[in-house]
């Protein structure tokens, strides 16, 4: 297995922007290249580690604090951690960066709301628009566009392989990958 300095690739964006798809594709490519990598998917973590939390502002903050601490632990062991989490507010991402420290890579997975709604196979946006889901980011709760992300990925215009190439290039250029 190739050594890496570890990193936390913190993917932020609206539901349906492509965070999980991109996270899984990046994970696959990193593993194929022999790097220790893991995906922390926000939806999966909410069914286990964070099952006791809802979507209130306080619960969302706690959810993301926990994810950042878990990511930091894996990074300290040399893993490249890919965290696919909406993290809608500047303060959430700033806090995650502070918890993780050096090695934090903020990736804005950018897709317009109309594209995210069109991709929504679970019908969550439609339910949120009908008022059936409270605190839904992009509908009843805001998403604050990152001010200075390390990488911006436009999933409306770029195919997944090209997005992954761009992320791998960034990790290599910043010395997070060896070999």
Tokens of 146: 């990152």
Q: Is 169 annotated as a binding residue?
A: no
Report the residue count for the chain: 179
Q: Is 95 annotated as a binding residue?
A: no
Inter-residue contact 30 to 79 (CB < 8 Å): no
Q: Is 14 annotated as a binding residue?
A: yes
Q: Is 54 annotated as a binding residue?
A: no
**Is 87 tagged catalytic?**
yes
Locus of tokens 């006791």: 52
SS3 state of residue 54? coil
Q: Which of 97, 99, 100, 101 minimizes the C-alpha distance to 147? A: 97
Which member of 2, 87, 95, 140 is catalytic?
87
The three state secondary structure string of 28-55 is HHHHHCCECEEEEEHHHHCCCCCCCCCC
Q: Is 18 annotated as a binding residue?
A: yes
Which residues are catalytic, by number?
87
Question: Binding site: residue ranges?
Answer: 13-20
Binding residue numbers for ATP: 13-20
């Amino acid at each position: 297995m190739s050594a890496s300095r570890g990193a936390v690739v913190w993917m932020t964006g609206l539901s349906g922007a492509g965070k999980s798809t991109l996270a899984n594709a990046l994970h696959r490519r990193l593993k194929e290249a022999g790097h220790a990598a893991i995906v922390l998917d926000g939806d999966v973590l909410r069914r286990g580690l964070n099952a006791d939390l809802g979507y209130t502002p306080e619960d969302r903050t706690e959810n993301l604090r926990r994810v950042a601490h878990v990511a930091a632990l894996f990074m300290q062991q040399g893993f490249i951690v890919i965290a696919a989490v909406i993290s809608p507010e500047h303060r959430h991402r700033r806090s995650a960066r502070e918890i993780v420290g050096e090695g934090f890579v903020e990736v804005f997975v950018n897709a317009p709301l109309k594209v995210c709604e069109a991709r929504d196979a679970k019908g969550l946006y439609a339910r949120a628009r009908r008022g059936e889901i409270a605190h839904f980011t992009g509908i009843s709760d805001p998403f604050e566009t990152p001010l200075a992300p390390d990488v911006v990925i436009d999933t409306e215009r770029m195919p997944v392989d090209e997005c992954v190439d761009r992320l791998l290039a960034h990790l290599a250029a910043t010395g997070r990958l060896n070999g």
